[in-house]
């Protein structure tokens, strides 16, 4: 019983660590063009974020949107880079945490 409790606690802290990692990645790679992460993430539902970050053919919808947008040209090296695939899990966790249906927003506090 106690063991299960600690296991769940461990999983929760891993999930929380992924969210903070996503936040760091966002600050480094996305903030230059977008609003702060919480504001952006609250524009979509958790399910929608999941779809945008779902990897298929070594890329995902979010990367494609940027690669198809001339205005986002300076982000192309990042979205082409293999490290984006690793980052996207953390970015997804961060975006989902503050998504429109799951997030806690300042106005509700």
Chain residues binding ligand HEC by CB under 6 A are 29-30, 32-34, 62, 65-66, 69, 71-72, 74-75, 91
Q: What are the residues whose beta carbons fall under 8 Å from the beta carbon of 23, sequence distance 6 or more?
A: 37, 94
In whole angstroms, how close is the CB of 52 to ligand HEC at the nearest point? 6
In whole angstroms, how close is the CB of 5 to ligand HEC at the nearest point? 34
Distance CA 42, CA 44 (A): 6
- Please say which residue, 19 or 91, places its beta carbon nearer to ligand HEC: 91
In whole angstroms, how close is the CB of 4 to ligand HEC at the nearest point? 35
Q: What are the residues whose beta carbons fall under 8 Å from the beta carbon of 75, sequence distance 6 or more?
A: 29, 33, 66
Query: Would you state the structure tokens that stand for residue 76, as one six-digit string?
Result: 């192309």
Query: Would you state the structure tokens that stand for residue 101, as one six-digit string?
Result: 């249906």
- Please say which residue, 13 or 86, places its beta carbon nearer to ligand HEC: 86
- Please say which residue, 13 or 85, places its beta carbon nearer to ligand HEC: 85
């Amino acid at each position: 019983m106690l063991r299960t409790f600690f296991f769940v606690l461990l999983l929760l802290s891993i999930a929380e660590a992924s969210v903070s990692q996503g936040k760091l990645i966002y600050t480094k790679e996305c903030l230059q063009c977008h609003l702060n992460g919480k504001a952006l993430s609250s524009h979509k539902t958790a399910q929608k974020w999941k779809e945008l970050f779902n990897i298929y053919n070594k890329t995902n919808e979010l990367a494609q949107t940027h690669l198809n947008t001339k205005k986002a040209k300076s982000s192309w090296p990042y979205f082409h880079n293999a490290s984006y695939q690793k980052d996207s899990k953390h970015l997804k966790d961060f975006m989902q945490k503050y998504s429109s249906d799951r997030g806690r927003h300042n106005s509700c506090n």
